[in-house]
Amino acid sequence: MKNTILVTGGAGYIGSHTTLALLEAGFEVIVLDNLCNSSVDSLNRVQKICNKLPIFIEGDIRDRILLNNIFTTYKISAVLHFAGLKAVGDSVNNPLEYYENNVAGSVNLCSAMAQANVFNLVFSSSATVYGESTQMPINERAPTATPTNPYGRSKLMVEELLKDLSYSDARWSIALLRYFNPVGAHQSGLIGEDPNGTPNNLVPYISQVAIGKLKKLSVYGDDYPTPDGTGIRDYIHVVDLADGHLKALQAISKTGGVNIWNLGTGIGYSVLEMIRAFEMASQKSVPFQIVNRRQGDIAECWADPMKAQQELGWKTERKLNDMMVDTWRWQSLNPYGYKTSSNSVK
């Protein structure tokens, strides 16, 4: 019998790459996505790559009747839970939407899972739960801190509620995957990150400058206590990240309780190093100017990924140049993302 996985948010950036990895590994995949920040084209492109199509259900994780129907119709063994809103700035202006989608949505999903006797869950958490850690690299024993924005707090709240759930019922087996900074795209150039409007994150911004959609990059501060003064992050290729989910899925089918794993490379790069690496990979110039620090940003953040290496047998394979080459391939082949022109709908 086929092993069937429900992937919430599976049409999105990380979800589509993970759906591909699952299909390639022989899983049956059901994607539940309300398409609020994605296009179903990502899944059609997944089919182009691997010749397999997931079952796609357009719908919302907050819709309990729909969830009950999905769990009674399909024999699901585990859930990979990506669905949620993720824009930090937007979360400050619309906190209720973030708590409703990310927290209430997760509560709804877990209740439906419990009712259906499905207890294996992999949750997309974030390094943001560590706040401004003083210890670098950050391992999983580092204390969590209250994040500075509703998005980050929603991630920490879901982590806490999943721990409570696991303490209350030993049948739960949960992975909290703390992603560092996902970047890059599948090497086919067919799927990648397709932000709505002006990107907030560094790499999509750089690649839109390189292709001429944006004039210049603003570098948020060069007065941090780092070697070149700009912020340092641990950028991880999205295909390595997707592989980490498969390994976590395997692991939680054998363990129980809550397992926390950092998914990062263990190497930090500064904003200026990222610009130079992108220019090398794309042979395009990326004009930039130094501006004030962005509120809420931290100086540096990189992972100690040893726990995932030891317990999951997972480590990243792709280097900075691969991240940049693959980002540029995706950007140059798809200047409007999944849209066919600047004014078509996603």
The interface partner of residue 104, options being ligand UFG, ligand NAD, none and the CB cut-off 5 to 8 Å by kind, is: none
Q: Residue 323: how many CB atoms within 10 A of its CB?
A: 29
Name the residue number minimizing CB distance to ligand UFG. Answer: 231
- The token duo for 107 is 């509560």
Evaluate whether 121 touches 106 at the Cβ level (below 8 Å): no
> Where do runs of H (alpha helix) occur along the chain?
13-24, 41-50, 64-73, 88-93, 95-98, 105-115, 150-168, 202-210, 238-252, 271-282, 306-312, 320-333
- To the nearest whole angstrom, how small is the minimum distance from the Cβ of residue 168 to ligand UFG? 28
* Cβ–Cβ under 8 Å, residues 232 and 307: no
Residue 91 is a binding residue for ligand NAD (CB under 6 A): no
Name the closest residue to ligand NAD (Cβ).
12
- Which of 77, 91, 124, 173 is the binder for ligand NAD (CB under 6 A)? 124
Any contact of residue 192 with ligand NAD (CB under 6 A)? no
Phi and psi, residue 174, nearest 5° = -130, 140
Residue 151 bears catalytic tag: yes
The token duo for 166 is: 């696991």
User: Which residues within the stretch 173-192 sit at the binding site for ligand UFG (CB under 6 A)?
Assistant: 179-181
- Which residue, 44 or 201, is less far from ligand UFG as judged by CB? 201
CB 34 within 8 A of CB 101: no
Identify what 294 binds: ligand NAD, ligand UFG, none; CB under 5 to 8 Å per kind: ligand UFG
Q: Is 262 in the site for ligand UFG (CB under 6 A)?
A: no
Given a contact cutoff of 8 angstroms between Cβ atoms, the answer to whether 302 and 263 are in contact is no
Rounded Cα distance, 92 and 99, in Å: 11
Residue of 98, 99, 130, 151 marked catalytic: 151
Nearer to ligand UFG, 77 or 126 (CB): 126
Q: Of residues 219-278, which lie at the interface with ligand NAD (CB under 6 A)?
A: none
Determine the Cα–Cα distance for residues 113 and 219; give it in Å rounded to an integer: 43
Residue 271 engages ligand UFG in binding (rule: CB under 6 A): yes
The site partner of 124 among ligand UFG, ligand NAD, none (C-beta below 5 to 8 Å per kind) is ligand NAD
Q: Name 48's Cβ contacts closer than 8 Å, sequence gap at least 6.
A: 188, 190
Amino acid, res. 280: M
Q: From the list ligand UFG, ligand NAD, none, pick the one residue 62 interacts with, judged by a Cβ distance below 5 to 8 Å according to partner type.
A: ligand NAD
Integer Cα distance of 180 and 201 in angstroms:
13
Nearest approach, Cβ of residue 218 and ligand UFG (Å)? 5
Could you say whether residue 210 binds ligand NAD (CB under 6 A)?
no
User: For ligand NAD, what does the binding mask look like between residues 30 and 69, x meaning CB under 6 A?
Assistant: ---xxxxxx---------------------xxx-------
Q: Which stretch binds ligand NAD (CB under 6 A): 5-13, 211-219, 277-285, 329-337?
A: 5-13
Nearest to 174 by CA among 242, 110, 126, 101: 110
Residue from 45, 233, 318, 329 in contact with ligand UFG (CB under 6 A): 233
The type of residue at 335 is P
Nearer of residues 165 and 177 to ligand NAD, judged by Cβ = 177
Q: Give 168: exposed, middle or buried? Use CB within 10 Å, 0-12, 13-18, 19+.
A: exposed
Measured in degrees and rounded to the nearest 5, phi and psi for residue 177 equal -100, 115
Per CB under 6 A, 15 contacts ligand NAD? yes
Integer Cα distance of 160 and 128 in angstroms: 14
Contacts with ligand UFG by CB under 6 A lie at: 86, 88, 126-128, 179-181, 200-202, 205, 217-220, 231, 233, 271, 294, 297
Contacts with ligand NAD by CB under 6 A lie at: 8-9, 11-15, 33-38, 60-62, 82-86, 101, 105, 124, 126, 179, 182
